[in-house]
């Protein structure tokens, strides 16, 4: 359910996954290690004839390594890497390797792992007036009428859903047949007014009938793109809505980049930062769902991947009417860590500390700049303590976009008593169908 891209389905995993190199450990299947052992032992199997394997060790997302060595070679193109735990502090690390196959350039690979992550220190960046700031925004949103409009309703049977998934929704035709609740759904465009003089557009899909149905708000990944109809979500029994958060239509052939999102960002006043309207309009989308008589108000779910995972955290924090959240690979978590590794990696931006990050256990405080003052108001880590509903998350350990240190910081800060994290070793910024199947079953339980 976290994969919601308007494009054809493809079976190639996202980088930096490389099928020529496979990593595992008999100490920990998910590559999360505790402090009980003196060393971490990681195995690597090469899909090529292999002469030697060199390795370096970096703090997660840092470019400069603090340890290196040569793996122990064993028969069968296999290698063993041993890392003394005395080198590590609690957190995540990137084990980078270079395979000598005896021909051509070395083959690079990466295996990220966690060490004592439950004790990982997280720098506190939450402003003292954090919830007061967002309460004012929510109060302003109350004066915005929905003025909702629906387009023409179309009907899709099972075969049509399967074909749409393959052609337009970036998922397999039918990856969870056991999760079907209906075999025929209906779908149309929807739009409503949001804050910031924006008209929010989306696709709505639902089972046939009057309901009431559980509702699912499907939140988009980053960028300016078309949105897919959430037909699969409706086939699982939900009245689902996938929205375009930028005030653009859902099916344009070309999408202009709006100012302030990538370039020309405005940090002060904080209300002028691009995500201010985005965050509040996610709540407006929940307002729309709850305005419908065919929605069960006690079963509102928010889901999404990447930026959609981030927005799922925000929605569940700002709106207590959310009954459950499934934030997948949420990005931009723990902005202090983000600024830390970006500063350390940029030779043109001197950083007060070692470039490998091993001079301290946690990121330093945010810089005393407009950016440093603004971004903590939008960091999902700072929203997480407000969430009390059940939350199921995942994180790709080698994800270069939603870096696992930030994803885990969000998870650790969640206020929910019912929360679970599914680590995805070896996976980058990608979708996991088995996680989706787990999530559908998990929602069945928590919404029952």
159 shares a domain with 36: no
Q: What is the DSSP letter of 420?
A: E
Residue 354 confidence (pLDDT): 81
Its domain, for residue 176, covers: 130-447
Q: 54, 84, 119 — which closes off a domain?
A: 119
275 shares a domain with 136: yes
144 shares a domain with 103: no
Nearest-10 crossing angle of helices 130-141, 274-291: 50
Residue 10 included in any domain: no
How deeply is 209 buried, as exposed, middle or buried, from its count of CB atoms within 10 A (0-12, 13-18, 19+)? Answer: exposed
Q: What is the DSSP string of 73-126?
A: EETTTEEEEEEEGGG--SEEEEEEEEEE-SSSSPEEEEEEEEESGGG-------
Chain segment 131-162, per-residue pLDDT in tens: 999 999 999 999 999 999 999 999 999 999 99
352 shares a domain with 407: yes
Taking all residues of the chain, what is their mean pLDDT, rounded to a whole number?
96
Mean pLDDT to the nearest integer, 237-259: 96
Question: Lowest-confidence range among 280-294, 336-350, 418-432?
Answer: 336-350
Residue 3 included in any domain: no
299 shares a domain with 427: yes
Find out whether the peptide bond into 19 is cis, omega within 30 degrees of 0.
Answer: no
CATH of the domain at 75: 2.60.40.1220
403 shares a domain with 288: yes
249 shares a domain with 104: no
Chain segment 285-312, per-residue pLDDT in tens: 999 999 999 999 999 999 999 999 999 9
195 shares a domain with 143: yes
Q: Is pLDDT at 351 greater than 70 in this prediction?
A: no
Mean pLDDT to the nearest integer, 58-72: 97
Q: What pTM value is reported for the model?
A: 0.96
164 shares a domain with 102: no
Domains: count for the chain: 2
């Amino acid at each position: 359910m976290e994969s919601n891209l308007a494009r054809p389905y493809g079976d190639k995993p996202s980088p930096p996954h490389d099928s020529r190199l496979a990593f595992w450990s008999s100490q920990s299947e998910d590559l999360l290690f505790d402090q009980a052992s003196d060393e971490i032992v990681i195995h690597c199997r090469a899909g090529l004839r292999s002469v030697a394997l060199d390795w370096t060790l970096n703090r997660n997302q840092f470019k400069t390594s603090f340890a290196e060595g040569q793996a122990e070679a064993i028969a069968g193109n296999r290698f063993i890497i041993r890392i003394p735990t005395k080198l590590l502090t609690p957190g995540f690390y990137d084990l980078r390797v270079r395979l000598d196959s005896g021909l051509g350039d070395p083959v690079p690979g990466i295996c990220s792992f966690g060490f004592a992550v439950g004790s990982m220190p997280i720098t506190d960046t939450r402003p003292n007036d954090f919830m007061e700031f967002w309460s004012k925004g929510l109060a302003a949103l109350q004066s915005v009428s929905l003025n909702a409009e629906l387009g023409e309703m179309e009907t899709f049977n099972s075969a049509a859903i399967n074909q749409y998934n393959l052609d337009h929704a970036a998922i397999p035709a039918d990856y969870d047949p056991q999760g079907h609740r209906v075999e025929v759904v209906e779908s149309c465009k929807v739009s409503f007014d949001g804050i910031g003089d924006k008209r929010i557009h989306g696709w709505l899909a639902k089972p046939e009938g009057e309901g009431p149905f559980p509702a699912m708000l499907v939140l988009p990944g980053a960028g300016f793109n078309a949105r897919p109809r959430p037909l699969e979500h409706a086939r699982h029994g939900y009245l689902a809505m996938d929205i375009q958060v930028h005030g653009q239509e859902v099916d344009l052939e070309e999408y202009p980049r709006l100012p302030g999102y990538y370039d020309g960002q405005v940090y002060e006043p904080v209300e002028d930062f691009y995500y201010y309207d985005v965050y509040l309009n996610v709540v407006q989308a929940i307002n729309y769902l709850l305005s419908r008589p065919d929605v069960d108000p006690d079963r509102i779910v928010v889901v999404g991947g990447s930026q959609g995972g981030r927005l799922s955290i925000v929605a569940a924090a700002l709106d207590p009417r959310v009954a459950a959240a499934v934030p997948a690979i949420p990005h931009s978590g723990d902005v202090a860590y983000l600024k830390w590794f970006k500063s350390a990696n940029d030779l043109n931006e001197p950083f007060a500390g070692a470039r490998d990050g091993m001079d301290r256990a946690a990121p330093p405080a945010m810089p005393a700049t407009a950016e440093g003052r603004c971004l903590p108001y939008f960091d999902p880590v700072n929203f997480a303590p407000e969430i009390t509903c059940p939350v199921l998350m995942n994180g790709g350990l080698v994800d270069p976009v939603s870096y696992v240190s930030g994803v885990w910081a969000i998870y650790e800060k969640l206020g929910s008593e019912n929360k679970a994290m599914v680590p995805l070793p070896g996976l980058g910024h990608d979708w996991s169908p088995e996680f989706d199947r787990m999530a559908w079953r998990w929602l069945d339980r928590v919404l029952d």
